[in-house]
Amino acid sequence: MLGNYFTTAPYTISPLEAFEASGRTINYALGTGISSNNETFFDEALAAARKSDVIVFAGGIDNTVESEALDRENITWPGNQLDLIDRLSKLGKPVVVLQMGGGQVDSTVLKENDKVNSIIWGGYPGQSGGQALYDLISGKRAPAGRLVTTQYPAAYADDFYQLDMDLRPSGDNPGQTYMWYTGEPVYEFGHGLFYTTFEEKLATNASASQSYNITKFFAQPHGGYEFIEQMPLLTFQAEVSNTGKVASDYSAMLFASTTSGPTPRPIKWLVGITREAEVAPGGSCTVAIDVPVGVLARAADNGDLVVYPGDYSLALNNERSVVMNFTLTGDAITVAHWPSELPANDRKPQV
């Protein structure tokens, strides 16, 4: 529930406690442990599931698998959890898989199992996390979260030397993070589903294509901002309509991509994020995300952060449901210099 970076919580509410306090009939069984390969309790779990209308499997990983000074050697589901989920999925009941833990594990087999109806990444949700998860599963609250990491296939951990810290793809390294990974993720960074449907379009007062001279932009005063790179170059605006039947928050992630500057270029990178409060069925809202000019900077070979002239695109969420193009003209601008090594006589002695 708490991970391993936390203060002392006055209490915790586990998912089981939240379900048991709901007034529903709960048929609970242990089933298996996080890393157990013992099937002794499988029959009890299957028996409890047969008596139930809906099956919720709570598992994943915990601090026995990942913690400070305890690195994982693989990114697979530990133990025999997937075996139990597979058997539960064959009972003809709706199945919810609740994956706990901070890191990701390869859920390919769950994604491909059409009898697994939903997967929820619970993370380490904190002292009242069980109640929050119950509210989502029961429909009291509608989810609008986005996955905060990339979920890689299990082979990723064996494809290249794991002490290779290069983010850009090279040799056996397929690239790391959503910005550079050239493989097919199980679930992308930023993936997320709603209990309703939304339609998005570019705001009526927004232009689908614009041009900005960055030489002039960086030469202007920047009152109200400590650094010029903090000033918004533009504001991305989209009109979002709830076309479904459930009131829901709307989360928006804005990604940039470019054909400008030297290669290799990142596939995309996050430049803004926002969340709109509950949008009623049939209702709409306007999503507005300021794009500071500094977030368009990329690292040069020497580590300097540079904004390059050229063509850029802004896309809403992984679905790219709204795309806005713009062009930067003028000279390349360095917004931050990577510190060079000090001369030997300026170095402080190491103590």
Tell me the per-residue pLDDT of 252-300, one tens digit each, with 9 for 90 and over. 999 999 999 999 999 999 999 999 999 999 999 999 999 999 999 999 9
- Which pLDDT score, from 0 to 100, does residue 344 have? 56
Say which amino acid occupies 68: E
What region does 325 belong to: left with phi over 0, alpha with psi -120 to 50, or beta? beta
Q: Which class in CATH covers the domain with range 198-336?
A: mainly beta
- The dotted CATH code for 15-141 is 3.40.50.1700
Give the Å distances, CA to CA, from 23 to 9, 20, 96, 105: 26, 7, 19, 33
Q: Residues 237, 239, 245, 247: what is their CA dihedral angle, to the nearest 10 degrees?
A: 40
Where in the chain are the domains?
A: 15-141, 198-336
Render pLDDT for 56-73 as a digit per residue (tens, 0 to 9): 999 999 999 999 889 898
Taking the C-alpha atoms of residue 70 and residue 63, their distance in angstroms, rounded to an integer, is 8
Task: Identify the band that residue 345 occupies on the pLDDT scale cut at 50, 70 and 90.
Answer: low
